[in-house]
């Protein structure tokens, strides 16, 4: 079932590379937990929905092509979400913890988008899978 595919992907990543595994946790866990905790704010709802959909899409990409550099396609909605979050943070005053979470989420989303752009470039140059995944399979 497609809802379990993200969990299989997470397990596979954990087996292949601990650093990527922890980065994924640092990226996704706060988004989901904060999205639930701050759910009465539209920003949290948007982050939570995009995070869950992104994990589902990533699980499907991983299922079809394990460790593909194209997995970053699951983050395409962030290209709309991030500027909106930055705009909202610049123009709305939030309670301290919500604001801290929004800044953290925005920073990790921005960093991930930079990694995704590098991965798309490498994919276009023929590097279809991550080098750390290839090293584990030998």
Q: What is the mean pLDDT of residues 42-60?
A: 96
**DSSP letters for 97-113:** HHHHHHHHHHHHHHHHH
**What is the distance, to the nearest Å, from the Cα of residue 48 to the centroid of all Cα atoms in its chain?**
11
Residue 136 has pLDDT above 70, yes or no: no
Listed in order, strand segments (DSSP E) in the chain are none
Q: What is the mean pLDDT of residues 35-63?
A: 96
Domain extents for the chain?
Answer: 5-134
Which is more confidently placed, 129 or 41?
41
CA separation for the pair 19, 17 (Å, rounded): 6
CA separation for the pair 27, 112 (Å, rounded): 8
Residue 134: the pLDDT is 66
- Cβ within 8 Å of residue 103, ≥6 positions away: 89
pLDDT category of residue 130 using cuts at 50, 70 and 90: confident
């Amino acid at each position: 079932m497609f809802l379990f595919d993200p969990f299989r992907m997470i397990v596979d990543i954990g087996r292949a590379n601990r650093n990527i595994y922890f980065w994924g946790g640092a990226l996704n866990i706060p988004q989901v937990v904060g999205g639930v905790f701050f759910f009465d704010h539209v920003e949290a709802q948007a982050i939570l929905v995009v995070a869950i959909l992104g994990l589902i899409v990533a699980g499907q990409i991983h299922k079809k092509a394990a460790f593909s550099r194209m997995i970053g396609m699951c983050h395409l909605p962030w290209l709309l979400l991030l500027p909106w979050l930055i705009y909202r943070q610049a123009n709305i005053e939030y309670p301290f913890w919500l604001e801290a979470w929004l800044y953290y989420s925005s920073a990790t989303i921005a960093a991930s988008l930079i990694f995704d752009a590098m991965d798309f470039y490498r994919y276009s140059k023929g590097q279809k899978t991550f080098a750390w995944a290839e090293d584990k399979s030998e």
